[in-house]
Amino acid sequence: MTLRVLLLSPATGPALRAARFDDDSPLDERGIAQARAVAGAVPRASRHLTAPSRRCRETAAGLGLSAEPAPGLVGLDVGRWRGLGLDELAAAEPEAVAAWLADPAAAPHGGESVVALVGRVGAWLDGLGSGNDGESDDGDGRVLAVAEPAVIRAAVVHALALPPQAFWRLDVRPLTLTALSGRAGRWNLRCGEALGPAS
């Protein structure tokens, strides 16, 4: 069966507005309102998944989805940089930040490299519908997953067999859909579909 995987980025939260790495902080009232405003525009799917992060879970709830947690959708682990602002890091550790942005295999923060993230998310994506994701696909092949922007970028890099350096060239706006259709090893992409005026 051909799968259609709809990856939905979460609503804007305080970390994104402050240009800092998320520390699993909750959505604020503005983010919750954004999710609720577009709830009626969410496409149908036979399965609803969510990343374990708080903002993804709260976005799913704001959209009215009863989404099951998917450990394969865990966001990029930025290690000791968690909760810190990009400007703050660029001033304190300019060489480390430059290395991280230039080399997708680098992880100067002690967390996960972009290469590792792409591999992990790619394995999750390719396992959908095959029972390797812990669930059989007994519906219509449509999966909607609320996932962090880094996870969505990693899925696109994997699905299109892009070089890992392309990861930093992809922009995922809040509350937008990125659709992948096909099956393991052969995916097609439709990206950046806005759900409504809030995004």
Q: How do residues 83-103 score in pLDDT, each as one tens digit?
A: 999 899 999 999 999 999 999
pLDDT classification of 141: cutoffs 50, 70, 90? confident
- 47, exposed or middle or buried, with CB in 10 Å at 0-12, 13-18, 19+? buried
68-69 β-sheet, strand order: 68-69, 47-50, 142-146, 3-8, 176-183, 186-194
Query: Rounded to whole angstroms, how far apart are CA atoms 110 and 131?
Result: 32
Query: Rounded to whole angstroms, how far apart are CA atoms 162 and 3?
Result: 20
| Average pLDDT for 35-47 | 94
| Average pLDDT for 144-166 | 96
Tell me which CATH homologous superfamily contains domain 3-194: Phosphoglycerate mutase-like (3.40.50.1240)
Q: Are 110 and 80 in contact (CB under 8 A)?
A: yes
Q: Is the pLDDT of residue 145 over 80?
A: yes
Q: Is the pLDDT of residue 66 over 50?
A: yes
Q: Residue 143: which H helix or E strand, with range?
A: strand 142-146
Cα–Cα nearest to 109, from 75, 150, 79, 74: 79
| Average pLDDT for 155-164 | 96
pLDDT > 70: percent of the chain: 91
pLDDT classification of 16: cutoffs 50, 70, 90? confident
pTM for the complete prediction? 0.91
Q: Are 129 and 138 in contact (CB under 8 A)?
A: no
Query: Rounded to whole angstroms, how far apart are CA atoms 114 and 196?
Result: 30
The sign one gets for the Cα dihedral 24, 50, 118, 116 is positive
